[in-house]
A and B are shown apart, each in its own frame.
Chain A
């Protein structure tokens, strides 16, 4: 496992969450190394109106730069990207981030599935996808794609989640590489620094 961790999942970490996931993210961010050598992308379900507040809140918790994705952004190591409300966020194979304002998927936009699937295609074994607290099934289909492309799948330990349904649903459907709490997740990400 230790060897796997170094050679796999070392290009990009994508984190998806819904209800209750902000709590975990606010615990993980302060623990992240300032010398992180990979980008982290966060996809959260939320209302459309609180965009700026969310980014400011996240930025206050870490020394890493936090950026809400804009069309045309190129993925850069050491940056924490946040998917904008009301858009799907897709990862391009050329290292670009693209936005998609199409139909909601399972009542969600951004859809965690859509980001995980595109990231799996672009990063293959170099991808780590993390599913956090939430009250619906978004993310599980995306994690299947991550595993098909030999990436690393991680779930938040449901016993630590405010809304355990989402990580539990994924754990039941997919063999996870790890099930972690906030500290464990930060430790995992910090190995890429």
Chain B
């Protein structure tokens, strides 16, 4: 636990792995903090609390748990105020991908993700990278996996309808353990839905969109700065764990421009997939290593091996042997469970004294953060819990924090997808109430405030 410049307590999960470098911040969104936990309404602040004439109550501290290269949003920024640049969420994603070493992009145009493809189309070729517009999202994911097997860091980006088409190859990537990063900029669905409108309807598709049991990592940034940080993190986790990583954010986060200070790429800590160093003969691409993540050789690097979507043994050869099948399934699930502490990342703000904890991701978390400030200004003890890793869901962490609250409100832009997960995490110990919006408009602070009023804490122990 340490205290940062703004006087907030910041905790980090203990870091795992052999990297000697201390975690460095991938970025900061503001000189002091992105969403300061103490906000005093200035004379000119045109907020409801200011016009009501009451001073806002200071919020409690902000607790952060972050993975090594994903700084909390309250990481300190540059020493001097001012400067920074105005960057769009999707542009930040593309820049982070380049800075993280991505040198292959294959995709298919779809709103609201197309800015990522456009930026990569311009930036990749001069850097020796490859940009391809494929015939569909199925092909895009296939090309990404082929390029990744050739040793490149590779990515694609899409939105709900295209993400649905990618599910076949997401399953393949998870099962064959090929690193890749997939960005899903969520728009309102189902089906073609509202092509230019925000939503958060892919919470469950990101987890369970493909068939069969499979591990997956899903990161959910809520600001432009965090899109940058978590894109870098997505590549790092994807490489270290040989797994697809999905970066999931809504249209607002993708299109909004915010002032950010992006880091010098040279200062980033970048992860690489484990590669074999021993003799080529006898190389086992799916060996049960101690870390659970076997080394992956690049195709064409002298190691000859077989990759198949069939259930396979340690050599990669197809097998129907029940014991082998079980061994593979268990290793796949265990590899993320073993790395859970490094992977899982969340931020809790104002939760120490909170009677109500709001759980939200993406732009809904920003609305909840605003609502929290407004509610605290009128004396209500409201806190915010924000998963940065949506999957694995920070269930134990949420339970530890929200278990003390009188109620939990889940604010999301769908019909209640994360809601069930929060209920599962809390196991019935705290009432979980919905604050849902699925009409193509962003969830607003007023929506959260209204749900707080509707569901007053007194006697709310339903």
Chain A partners chain B: no
Q: Which residues of A contact B (CB under 8 A)?
A: none
Q: Which residues of B contact A (CB under 8 A)?
A: none
